[in-house]
């Protein structure tokens, strides 16, 4: 008797969201089945990988990571070009220097960095604030205006500041990253609130809040699974936005990416181990439905892209 | 739940006048409002229409589908009018529903039409003679109707079994029997049979002040038992809020604080 593969039928589909323009534009989303189940649906776009760039020299990043980036990390424009040369699909500029506890840089300074970076690359740009909800409203407004026409994704819009951040994205034709804290219901609620203020839900990228392997990855995984089930099986229009996973920032803060060889010889050499930690975290997020990954290590990014190619 | 919008009904004076004078506007306004409010099908009830049935149904289906991209629930006892409606129907947005057949011989041709036109069909579990006494009686009738469906080549998933909603003010036990029947109907086939009710019959004869309350609460109990479709007024916000809330509690939609706005 011939084996019949049982197939799930889906009523929903993930929105296509395009970033950037021209030949190097990247479209994410579009899936009509759960991740990589190509016998059940279509996947017009492969998940994209962005490499992260900071607006100030990343002194607090682990040595392994700094070494992999080389001498460009003090200059965001050169750093962004380096990411493009390394084969990143997208550059993710994080304006960490604007945080009041960091260098408290002004919105104008941030806007200049963003505009310079945008002008230096031809791949799409994601622009993230420092994560300080109040400061981000001013910073992202200035940045959105300075990069108008570049079709960036700006964020993160959170419950405390979504109105201002979304208005800035809307006024300057950018896409929006909306983040909620590991909660499917609040993720849906934020998307509803954004829609109610007139922001097109098909221009939102959802950030379920990421974590690193060994440090709560399974929570993010479960939330993403549930979001995708609602989107595809329950045809919930508020859950059909692509998903971004901001993993580099989490991975490069855990012990496994920092402990020297001598401290834990049974864990294997630091360089390979740390890079693998980011790749494995990425692979878990891909399996849960990530459409866009924000990573930090060029080698880990390359390996992840290789994995995606093999899976698609 | 599949919502069949009931507003275009010959019983309503405005609709009756529009049907008589072939004025498309009132029909189209009701169709658009119901589709916007979440109706999946638009019921078009023209009654027996003995004089000009086929022509009237043809006209009504076309004017409604001119303004809404939804399938129609064709509601008439006139076989010729039903066939004209099926022919006029644009299936681009889904197959139409025939409303309705039953176990009364004069309604058998409706099932034949469903087979011939690959339409969905509402089957009232009502036979010749007296009304069914309980849920078990309704299941016996349902089985006979299903067998007839097979004879006419109607796939079981195209049949919506209707437990026949009777007015609670004179037949109080029948409400409970209908709820039981909805549960039992599903077990008559695998995959489960689809079910439908004409909801507002439950409160016929009751004072206006309590009708909406009876309707809403009855619907939530039917939904809990797995009701697939209901003929209701989608413009009734309290009713729609009840549907959304029950579906959310049953886990069919994901909760969010603003779930009622969706």
Model confidence pLDDT, tens digit, residues A269-303: 999 999 999 999 999 999 999 999 999 999 999 99
**pLDDT tens for each residue of B46-88:** 988 888 999 999 999 999 999 999 999 999 999 999 999 999 9
Kindly state the DSSP code that residue B201 receives in the 8-state scheme. Answer: G
Residue of A nearest to B262 (CA): A192
Q: Where are the domains of chain B?
A: 2-261
Return mean pLDDT, chain A: 97
Contact B208/A at CB under 8 A: no
Retrieve residue B69's tokens. 């991209």
pLDDT tens column, A21-73: 999 999 999 999 999 999 999 999 999 999 999 999 999 999 999 999 989 99
Mutate to test the interface with B, among A9, A12, A180, A192 (most CBs of B within 10 A): A192
- Furthest CA-CA distance within chain A: 70
Question: In the numeric block, which tokens belong to residue A258?
Answer: 């920092």
Q: Is A62 in contact with A100 (CB distance < 8 Å)?
A: no
Cα separation of B192 and B209, whole Å?
A: 36
B141, B126 Cβ separation under 8 angstroms: yes
CB atoms within 10 A of CB B204: 14
Chain A residues whose CB is inside 8 A of the B258 CB are 189, 192-193, 196
Verify whether the Cβ–Cβ distance A185 to B258 is below 8 Å.
no
Q: Cα–Cα distances in Å, from B137 out to A145, B184, B190, B244?
A: 70, 11, 21, 32
Q: Compute CA A82 distance to the chain's CA centroid, rounded to the nearest angstrom.
A: 19
Separation between Cα atoms, residue B17 and residue B19, nearest integer Å: 5
Q: How far apart are CA A144 and CA A95, in angstroms?
A: 13
What is the Cα–Cα distance from B9 to B1, expressed in whole angstroms?
Answer: 21
pLDDT band, residue A5 (cuts 50/70/90): confident
Chain B, window 239-258: residues with a beta carbon less than 8 angstroms from a chain A beta carbon: 252-258
Higher pLDDT, B50 or B28: B28
**Residue with the two structure tokens 């994995």:** A307
pLDDT band at A6 (very low <50, low <70, confident <90, very high): confident
Which are the contacts of A1, defined by CB distance < 8 A and separation ≥ 6?
Answer: none
Residue A7 above 80 pLDDT?
yes
Q: What is the C-alpha to C-alpha distance for residues A51 and A94, in angstroms, rounded to an integer?
A: 10
CB–CB of A189 and B256 under 8 A?
yes
**Span between the terminal Cα atoms of chain A, in Å:** 30
Question: Is the Cβ–Cβ distance between A165 and A154 less than 8 Å?
Answer: yes
User: Which fold, B2-261?
Assistant: TIM Barrel (3.20.20)
What was the pLDDT predicted at A96? Answer: 98
- Reply yes or no on whether the pLDDT at A1 is more than 80: no
Confidence of residue B130 (pLDDT cuts 50, 70, 90): confident
Quick one: which of A141, A93, A88 has its CA closest to A116?
A93
Evaluate if residue A192 carries a pLDDT over 80. Answer: yes
Cβ contacts of B250 on chain A, cutoff 8 Å: none
Backbone φ, ψ for residue A128 (5° rounding): -110, 140
Give yes or no for residue A135 having a pLDDT over 80: yes
CA pair distance A200, A118, nearest whole angstrom: 24
Predicted confidence at residue A198, as pLDDT, reads 97
Beta bridge partners of B160: B122, B194
pLDDT in tens, B220-244: 999 999 999 999 999 999 999 999 9
Q: A196 vs B252: CB contact, 8 Å cut-off?
A: no
- Can you list the domains of chain A with their CATH numbers? 41-311 (3.20.20.20)
Cβ contacts (< 8 Å) between A193 and chain B: which residues?
258
Q: Residues B170-224: pLDDT tens digits?
A: 999 999 999 999 999 999 999 999 999 999 999 999 999 999 999 999 999 999 9
Please answer yes or no on whether A238 and B256 come within 8 Å at the CB atom. yes
d(CA A60, CA A111): 23
Average pLDDT over residues A78-103: 98
Residues A36, A280 contacting (CB under 8 angstroms): no
- Token code pair at residue A44: 């017009």
Chain A nearest C-alpha distance from B252 (Å): 7
What ipTM was estimated for this complex? Answer: 0.87
């Amino acid at each position: 008797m011939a084996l019949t593969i049982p197939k799930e039928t889906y009523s929903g589909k993930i929105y296509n969201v395009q970033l950037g323009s021209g030949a190097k534009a990247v479209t994410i989303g579009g899936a009509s089945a759960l991740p990589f189940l190509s016998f059940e649906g279509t996947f017009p776009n492969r998940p994209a990988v962005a490499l992260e760039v900071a607006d100030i020299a990343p002194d607090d990043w682990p040595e392994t990571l700094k070494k992999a980036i080389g001498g460009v990390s003090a200059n965001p424009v050169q750093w962004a070009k380096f990411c493009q040369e390394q084969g990143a699909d997208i550059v993710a500029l994080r304006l960490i220097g604007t945080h009041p506890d960091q260098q408290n840089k002004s919105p104008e300074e941030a806007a200049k960095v963003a505009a310079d970076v945008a002008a230096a690359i031809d791949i799409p740009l994601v622009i993230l604030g420092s994560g300080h909800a109040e400061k981000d409203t001013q910073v992202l407004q200035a940045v959105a205006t300075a990069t108008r026409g570049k079709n960036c994704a700006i964020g993160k819009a959170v419950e405390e500041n979504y109105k201002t951040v979304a208005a800035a994205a809307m006024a300057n034709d950018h896409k929006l990253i909306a983040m909620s804290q590991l909660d499917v219901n609040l993720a849906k609620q934020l998307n509803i609130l954004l829609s109610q203020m007139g922001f097109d839900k098909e221009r939102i990228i959802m950030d379920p809040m990421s974590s690193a392997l060994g440090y709560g990855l399974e929570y993010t995984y479960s939330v993403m699974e549930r979001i995708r089930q609602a989107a595809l099986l329950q045809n919930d229009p508020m859950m059909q936005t692509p998903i971004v996973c901001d993993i580099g920032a989490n991975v490069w803060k855990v012990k496994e990416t920092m402990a020297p060889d001598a401290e834990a010889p049974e864990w294997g050499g630091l360089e390979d181990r740390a890079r693998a930690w980011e790749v494995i975290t990425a692979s878990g997020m891909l399996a849960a439905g990530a459409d866009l990954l924000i990573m930090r290590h060029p080698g880990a990014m390359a390996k992840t892209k290789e994995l995606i190619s093999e899976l698609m | 739940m599949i919502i069949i919008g009931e507003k275009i009904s010959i019983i309503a004076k405005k609709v009756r006048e529009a049907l008589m004078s072939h004025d498309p506007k009132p029909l189209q306004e009701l169709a658009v409002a119901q589709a916007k409010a979440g109706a999946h099908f638009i019921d078009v009830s023209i009654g027996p229409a003995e004089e000009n049935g086929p022509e009237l149904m043809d006209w009504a289906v076309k004017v409604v589908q001119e303004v809404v991209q939804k399938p129609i629930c064709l509601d008439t006892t006139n076989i010729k009018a039903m066939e004209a409606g099926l022919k006029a129907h644009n299936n681009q947005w889904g197959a139409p529903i025939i409303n309705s057949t039953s176990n009364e011989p004069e309604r058998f041709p409706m099932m034949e039409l469903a087979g011939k036109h690959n339409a969905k069909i509402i089957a009232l579990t009502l036979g010749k003679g007296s009304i069914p006494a309980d849920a078990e009686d309704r299941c016996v009738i349902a089985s006979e109707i299903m067998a007839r469906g097979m004879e006419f080549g109607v796939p079981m998933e195209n049949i919506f079994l209707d437990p026949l909603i009777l007015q609670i003010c004179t037949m109080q036990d029948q409400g409970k029997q209908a709820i039981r029947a909805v549960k039992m109907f599903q077990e008559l086939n695998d995959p489960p049979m689809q079910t439908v009710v004409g909801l507002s019959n439950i409160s016929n004869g009751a004072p206006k002040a309590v009708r909406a309350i009876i309707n809403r609460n009855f619907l939530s109990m039917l939904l809990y038992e797995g009701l697939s479709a209901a003929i209701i007024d989608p413009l009734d916000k309290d009713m729609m809020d009840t549907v959304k809330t029950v579906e959310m509690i049953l886990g069919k939609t994901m909760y969010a604080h603003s779930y009622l706005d969706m």
